[in-house]
């Protein structure tokens, strides 16, 4: 018996008539009759007796039914599996992101993506930008989210969003009354910013030099969160990426844009030449939706 014969036999057993089987399979009645005739000839025994316009299964047909039912149960399971895979509701996905991204909008995107997908499993790694690039280049993770520059030929990059550093300071600070803080206004205030090894330090130094000022840098940090905490404890004004201020609760602190802005780009990175899986493509689309909902990404991008 081939799969088509299984299908016709199963449909007749379910409906009790050739007409009903044809309707169920969306084929003509003669085609069902032909398949049934060939099947019985091949098996050398009858499967149905015609009684009162209906097909009455023979004992042989009843003996076959449990195993045929099992075949169609497995086919239905395969169909559900393919639908779940196509819908991004099943599978595994490993992603990595720079620390403030992983603990900010990336964590929210992963959590909301898993909602309603009980068969989905995800790994989210929080690393430095060079570590994220290394993990993606070595194909240990499928997707990375980092700040430019990336500086690796082993990954493909795609712009996710454009952002800017900000001044993080107590709400009671005199400069907090300004909607935007001119860089020149920082000249007489203690400043907290990144260590020279950090990718953002180049942007900060360049902006300060172009503004013609040399503020007193009282503390240098490796990650934005440390700078924010120092600002909270009164060490100075933190010139950092303000994402963690949006993600966590820091009473009494505010972030103000700088003028001119100290801009940077955030990119998605993937192993070079590797196409997205269905679930990865759906996650990236979901991530963009989360960014739009939070006002971090303009509509239409």
Map out the domains of the chain as residue ranges.
Answer: 3-86, 90-162+265-293, 166-261
Closest by Cα among 18, 68, 61 to 40: 61
User: Whole-model pTM above 0.75?
Assistant: no
CA end-to-end span of the chain: 54
pLDDT digits (tens, 9 = 90+) for 241-276: 998 888 788 889 999 999 999 999 999 999 999 898
The domain made up of 166-261 is a member of CATH 3.40.50.1980: no
Q: How far apart are CA 255 and CA 232, in angstroms?
A: 12
pLDDT at residue 82 in the model: 66
Burial class from Cβ neighbours inside 10 Å (0-12, 13-18, 19+) for residue 154 reads middle
More reliable by pLDDT, 150 or 54: 150
Query: What value does the mean pLDDT of the chain take?
Result: 89
Identical fold for domains 3-86 and 166-261, yes or no, is no
Q: What CATH number does domain 3-86 carry, 3.40.50.1820, 1.10.1740.10, 2.40.50.140, 1.10.10.10?
A: 1.10.10.10
Whether the per-residue pLDDT at 88 is higher than 60: the answer is no
Closest by Cα among 46, 44, 28 to 9: 46
Which pLDDT band holds residue 208 (cuts at 50, 70, 90)? very high
Closest by Cα among 160, 191, 153, 149 to 286: 160
The domain made up of 90-162+265-293 is a member of CATH 3.40.190.10: yes
Cβ count near 195 (within 10 Å): 12
Cα four-point dihedral sign 289, 294, 300, 301: negative
Averaged pLDDT for residues 131-144: 93
């Amino acid at each position: 018996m081939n799969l088509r014969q299984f299908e016709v036999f199963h449909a007749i057993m379910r409906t009790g008539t050739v007409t009903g089987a044809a309707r169920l399979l969306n084929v003509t009645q003669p085609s069902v009759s032909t398949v049934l005739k060939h099947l019985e000839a091949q098996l050398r025994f009858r499967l149905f007796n015609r009684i009162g316009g209906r097909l009455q299964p023979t004992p042989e047909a009843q003996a076959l039914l449990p195993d045929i039912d099992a075949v169609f149960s497995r086919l239905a399971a395969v169909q559900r599996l393919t639908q779940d895979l196509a819908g991004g509701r099943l599978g595994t996905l490993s992603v990595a992101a720079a620390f403030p991204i992983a603990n900010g909008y990336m964590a929210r995107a992963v959590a909301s993506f898993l909602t309603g997908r009980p068969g989905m499993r995800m790994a989210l790694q929080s690393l430095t930008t060079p570590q994220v690039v290394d993990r993606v280049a070595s194909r240990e993770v499928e997707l990375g989210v980092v700040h430019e520059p990336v500086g690796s030929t082993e990954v493909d990059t795609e712009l996710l969003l454009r952002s800017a550093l900000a001044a993080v300071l107590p709400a009671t600070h005199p400069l907090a009354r300004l909607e935007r803080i001119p860089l020149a206004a920082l000249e007489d205030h203690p400043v907290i910013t990144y260590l020279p090894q950090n990718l953002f330090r180049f942007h900060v130094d360049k902006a300060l030099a172009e503004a013609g000022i040399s503020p007193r840098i009282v503390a240098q940090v490796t990650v934005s969160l440390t700078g924010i905490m120092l600002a909270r404890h009164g060490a100075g004004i933190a010139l950092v990426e303000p994402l963690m201020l949006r993600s966590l609760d820091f009473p009494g602190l505010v972030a103000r844009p700088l003028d001119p802005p100290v801009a940077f780009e955030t990119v998605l990175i993937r192993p070079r030449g590797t196409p997205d899986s269905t679930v990865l493509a759906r996650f990236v689309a979901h991530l963009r939706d989360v960014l739009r909902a939070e006002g971090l990404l303009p509509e239409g991008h």
